[in-house]
Amino acid sequence: MNSLLVFYFSCILFPILISPSIANTTTATTSSLRQPKSLILPVTKVLHFPRNQYVTVIKQRTPLVPIKLAVDLGLENSWVLCDHSYVSSTYKPQHCGSPECSLASKYRTNEDCRDCFAGGTLNTPGCNNNTCIGDVENDVGNILGAGELFRDVASVESADGRVVYVPNLLFGCGDTMMMEGLASGVKGIAALGRTKLALPSQFAAAFGLEKKFTVCLSSSTTSNGVVLLGKNDGSKSLAYTPTIFEPSFGKRNGKYYVDLNSIKINDKVVPFPRKYLSFGYPLKYRGGTTLNTIYPYTAMFELIHSAFVNSFVEAMPKDVPRVADVSPFKACFNSTYIAKTPVGPAVPRVDFVMKNGVVWRMLGTNTMVEVDKDVMCLAFVDYGEYSEGSAIVIGGHQLEDNLVQFDIANNRVGFSNSLLSKQTSCSMFAAKYINA
Ligand SMILES: *[C@@H]1O[C@H](CO)[C@@H](O)[C@H](O)[C@H]1NC(C)=O
Ligand SMILES: *[C@@H]1O[C@H](CO)[C@@H](O)[C@H](O)[C@H]1NC(C)=O
Ligand SMILES: *[C@@H]1O[C@H](CO)[C@@H](O)[C@H](O)[C@H]1NC(C)=O
């Protein structure tokens, strides 16, 4: 890897989202080079109380600085801390009147134009006049704010080992109050939602990538997982289910909702009313099933969670003693009585059955978490303490060592089920790209 082929796209500052001219510009300036088919974002699992995070690094600014960002699969706008530490000669506030401005908020339908919104020194990052203001959302710390939109240079690697640049990646500015709950060194959130301003669509527009990305999270904190933006040759054997739109925010909502029909444990349906899974239940703006890394463990609406825990405990072999709960978990067992297998502890199978009949099967490695030397707990939590609002959010622990593809163009999500049962893992998958 000593001969990195570095290419700079263009010194012309073009807006990324106005695609026909872009596709042309990029092709024209790189005509002698192959366009990348996919880009990589390395992902590290970071242990952090109370919520572990999956963290990526993007280089940004001039001169380039590596910025750590927590990965949020459902977020619409990426954002980063804009304070005195933001130093860049290519920072460009997004002025009012561009199409991006009206896309920058899920909650407003009109663009929001303001003068130096956040306070601070005029004409520094986060504080410029006549700029559009977008949503800045931190679902890890549960804070919703707003901030100046801006563009700046960013750089990532392509799957074939080149360094590539985007001259004008659009981000929002967060202030220090927005940092609540983020792990040490994390300076913002990388939005991988299904909307236009999120990274998959911005990178797809800039490089002409397929509008999809693949997530493979490593269960280890010492070996990376990866997000592969664009084409993924390893995705042929995935099972797909459609992604649907939540009615309140519709296409302004970045979350990937899947149509979950039922949950089975050892083939027995977990008994709870079907309406718990529908949109608008128990309140407007709530409900539905999504997938997201901002929850370290699958989070469930409390009534679904209690039914789920009861069914799981019932299905557990009777000779495995239950031990005291370890917060935030509700079903913990003495693991010396649980056999170990290559796909984790031998516990009841959990199947998420989608409306189109496709089944996401979760085995011990994804359903149980070791909390002590001889204690293991069911790794699903009651979302009571969080307010993201979906009925179920399939979280990080359940996504680990699964290849999950978010196919934005075709409104579907594909998943592999545990790679461990195929004698591979996400760190092995990621190593093909990251240490190439
Ligand atoms: C691409 O740009 C070149 C040079 O600006 C122009 O001549 C050509 O017509 C453009 N092609 C398309 C398909 O827009
Ligand atoms: C920026 O906006 C503030 C508040 O509206 C105003 O007082 C100031 O004169 C403006 N500065 C410039 C350079 O436009
Ligand atoms: C688990 O079982 C072993 C063997 O019976 C016992 O020594 C240990 O104390 C138990 N642990 C817990 C947390 O109950």
135 assigned to some structural domain = yes
pLDDT of residue 6: 31
pLDDT of residue 237: 87
Does residue 262 register a pLDDT over 70?
Answer: yes
Q: Which residue's C-alpha comes closest to atom 4 of ligand 2?
A: 115
With the most atoms of ligand 1 within 8 angstroms of its CB, the residue from 24, 29, 30, 31 to mutate is 24
**Residue showing tokens 């079907």:** 274
Residues 6+ apart with CB under 8 A from 419: 216, 401, 402, 403, 425, 426, 428, 429
Q: Are residues 251 and 371 in the same domain?
A: yes
Domain count, the chain: 2
Q: Are residues 188 and 275 in the same domain?
A: no
pLDDT digits (tens, 9 = 90+) for 125-174: 999 999 999 999 999 999 999 999 999 999 999 998 899 999 999 999 99
> For ligand 3, what atom is nearest to the CA of residue 375?
13
The reply to whether ligand 3 has any atom less than 6 angstroms from the CB of 371 is no
Q: Are residues 49 and 97 in the same domain?
A: yes
Lowest pLDDT segment from 40-49, 202-211, 279-288, 315-324: 279-288
Q: Are residues 170 and 268 in the same domain?
A: no
| Residue 24, SS3 per DSSP | helix
pTM of the full structure: 0.89
Mean per-residue pLDDT, 264-269: 98
pLDDT digits (tens, 9 = 90+) for 84-125: 999 999 999 999 998 899 999 998 888 899 999 777 899 999
Q: Are residues 194 and 246 in the same domain?
A: no
| SS3 of 269-291 | ECCCCHHHHCCCCCCCCCCCEEE
What is the distance between the alpha carbons of residues 259 and 398, in angstroms, rounded to a whole number? Answer: 17
Q: Are residues 378 and 246 in the same domain?
A: yes
pLDDT digits (tens, 9 = 90+) for 330-383: 999 999 999 999 999 999 999 999 999 999 999 999 999 999 999 999 999 998
Q: Are residues 152 and 25 in the same domain?
A: yes
Q: Considering every ligand atom shown, identify the ligand nearest to the alpha carbon of residue 26 and give its number.
A: 1
Q: Are residues 204 and 238 in the same domain?
A: no
Last residue of a domain, one of 146, 176, 209: 209
Q: Radius of gyration over alpha carbons of the chain, in Å?
A: 22
Q: Considering every ligand atom shown, identify the ligand nearest to the alpha carbon of residue 336 and give its number.
A: 3
Q: b vs e for 138-161, b when ≥16 Cβ sit within 10 Å of the residue's Cβ?
A: bbbbeeebbbbbbbbbbbbbbbeb
What is the distance between the alpha carbons of residues 389 and 30, in angstroms, rounded to a whole number? Answer: 44
Last residue of a domain, one of 209, 225, 250: 209
Q: Which residue's C-alpha comes closest to atom 6 of ligand 1?
A: 24
What is the distance between the alpha carbons of residues 197 and 77, in angstroms, rounded to a whole number? Answer: 6
Q: Are residues 199 and 326 in the same domain?
A: no
**CATH number, domain at 186?**
2.40.70.10
Q: Which domain holds residue 140?
A: 3-209
Q: What is the mean pLDDT of the chain?
A: 90
223 assigned to some structural domain = no
414 assigned to some structural domain = yes
pLDDT digits (tens, 9 = 90+) for 2-50: 333 333 333 233 333 333 334 323 433 443 367 899 999 999 999 998 8
pLDDT of residue 285: 81
